[in-house]
Amino acid sequence: MRAVVQKVANASVTVEGEVVGAIDKGFMILLGVTHDDTEEQAAWLAKKVSGLRIFEDDDQKMNLSLLDVGGDCLVVSQFTLYGDCKKGRRPSFVDAARPEHADKLYQVFCERLRETGCRVETGRFQTFMKVSLVNDGPVTLILDTP
């Protein structure tokens, strides 16, 4: 699994003009799933994300986690994170998981994130979404499961 985690002041996702998920302070997470990803990896990634210490403490040091600051998460499935652009100009998506597998692990990731104590909003799987966000920092990290 691959997650692009952005620290945000706020973020939202809209489908056909309807806001389906929105948060204030927290993480905007774009989540990609590949063929051999497992539920164990989804759980590992959720725990890792919730514990990332990238919020500033009183000394302006990145020392606080999402849980420490009471932040929220907006999670959007994004198969294009496994797009391969090494050859030609049109990406290949053969490394992206089939929708059935990807949706299952996307749901597991979101549930495990909720279990850590985070409030989680989501996009809508397999739809065209418009994502808006205000980066905070900016701080953007790319996490891959082992």
Is residue 21 a contact partner of residue 127, using CB atoms and an 8 Å limit?
no
Helix H or strand E encompassing 50: helix 39-51
Q: Which two tokens stand for residue 31?
A: 């989540």
What per-residue confidence (pLDDT) applies to 52? 97
What per-residue confidence (pLDDT) applies to 74? 98
What per-residue confidence (pLDDT) applies to 30? 98
Q: What share of the chain has pLDDT > 90, as a percent?
A: 99
Q: Choosing from 6, 34, 41, 78, which is the catalytic residue?
A: 78
Domain 2-129 sits in CATH 3.20.10.10: no
Per the annotation, the verdict on 78 as an active-site residue is yes
User: From CA 78, how far away is CA 83, in angstroms rounded?
Assistant: 10
- Per-residue pLDDT band for 60 (boundaries 50, 70, 90) equals very high
Q: Choosing from 80, 126, 127, 140, which is the catalytic residue?
A: 80
User: From CA 133, how far away is CA 120, in angstroms rounded?
Assistant: 15
Indicate the SS3 state at residue 88. Answer: coil
The residue ranges of every structural domain in the chain are 2-129
Query: How many Cβ atoms are within 10 Å of 130's Cβ, its own excluded?
Result: 12
User: From CA 134, how far away is CA 13, in angstroms rounded?
Assistant: 12
What per-residue confidence (pLDDT) applies to 62? 96
Q: Choosing from 34, 79, 109, 122, which is the catalytic residue?
A: 79
User: From CA 47, how far away is CA 116, in angstroms rounded?
Assistant: 7
Per the annotation, the verdict on 125 as an active-site residue is no
What per-residue confidence (pLDDT) applies to 81? 96
Per the annotation, the verdict on 79 as an active-site residue is yes
How many residues appear in the chain? 146
Buried b (16+ CB within 10 A) or exposed e, 114-124: eebebebbbbb
What per-residue confidence (pLDDT) applies to 91? 96
What per-residue confidence (pLDDT) applies to 17? 96
Average pLDDT over residues 48-70: 96
